[in-house]
Structure 1
Amino acid sequence: MTHILIVEDNELNRDMLQRRLERKGYAVSCAVDGPQGIAMATTTRPDIILMDVALGDMDGWEATMAIHADPRSATIPVIALTAHALESDRLRSIEAGCVDFETKPVSLPDLIAKIEQHATVRNAA
């Protein structure tokens, strides 16, 4: 079973996404901010991380760079989640080390396709 870590500071967004993914058969853990997401990435070793980019004191891009700087979590793929569909946000996400980008509100079929693509690549390695 694919384990997903959601890093999202908005409780409603986090709970809604967690419930939808669990109904699709995924194991889901949640972090409420960047530092907690970094810690959980190294301790729970999820197959993939869904990272909100607007997290407050430490944004999702900073958290992604910290996750990839740690050898224990460096290979975990991160998909950026943002309410902004700007090309600059997509480019900044890729520069920070994210493997993909999804805008909010999330299209569940599109997000699941991205999760499957990137989790499969990691698990095959």
Structure 2
Amino acid sequence: MSQRTCLVVDDSTVVRKAARRIIEGFGFRVSEAKDGQEALDACRSALPEAVLLDWNMPVMDGITFLRAARAEFGPDQPRIVLCTTEAELSKILEALSAGAQEYVMKPFDADILRDKFTQAGLLEEAA
């Protein structure tokens, strides 16, 4: 079986590196993009199984990428976990209605990401 893939999209190098370390620990091969346009291009060349997506980025923000990805690739692939500092319920509902499978608040840690990836159907429940 080929290794599972995850694209980490964030304009912060620090956040991308931290997320990469955690997600590689889950057994994924991780690639990175610094904005939504770069992420869309990456998905067009090799659609990942999962995307950990920042909301606030230059060039193309997360919600714009999310809508474009859903229009282009369909409702279920890739599985998208939106990652943001936006805590308002209206933002969470906007992300979910635009097609995100899950939503994670910054700052996150391995336990939080494992939980969200499990809820999004990307990881098995711990026995």
User: TM tier, shorter chain?
Assistant: 0.7 to 0.9
Counterpart of 2:95 in structure 1 is: 93
- Larger deviation: 112-121 or 33-42? 112-121
- Larger deviation: 67-76 or 92-101? 67-76
Partner amino acid for 1:37? A
Provide closer, same or farther for how the CA distance between residues 53 and 29 of structure 1 changes in structure 2, counting only shifts above 3 A. same
The CA deviation string for residues 13-69 of structure 1, in whole angstroms up to 9 with x for no partner, is 111111222233221010111101011112121111111000123210000111111
TM, length-normalised to structure 2? 0.84
Counterpart of 1:35 in structure 2 is: 37
Cα displacement (A) at 1:115: 1.6
- Larger deviation: 58-67 or 18-27? 18-27
State how many pairs are aligned: 121
Matched residue SS, 1:98: coil
Partner amino acid for 1:12? V
Partner amino acid for 2:43? A
The CA deviation string for residues 55-110 of structure 1, in whole angstroms up to 9 with x for no partner, is 12321000011111114896211110001222122111112211110000013212
Unaligned 5+ segments in structure 2 are none
Spell out the pairing of 1:24-63 with structure 2 (5 A cutoff): 24-63=26-65
Provide closer, same or farther for how the CA distance between residues 44 and 73 of structure 1 changes in structure 2, counting only shifts above 3 A. farther
- Return the alpha-carbon distance in structure 2 between the equivalents of residues 116 and 47 of structure 1: 13
TM, length-normalised to structure 1? 0.85
- Return the alpha-carbon distance in structure 2 between the equivalents of residues 21 and 29 of structure 1: 10
Counterpart of 2:107 in structure 1 is: 105
Which runs of structure 1 show a deviation greater than 6 angstroms over 4 or more consecutive aligned residues? none
Report which of the two has the higher share of helix: 1
Structure 1 residue 23 corresponds to structure 2 residue 25: yes
Cα displacement (A) at 1:119: 4.2
- Return the alpha-carbon distance in structure 1 between the equivalents of residues 46 and 75 of structure 2: 10
Counterpart of 2:9 in structure 1 is: 7
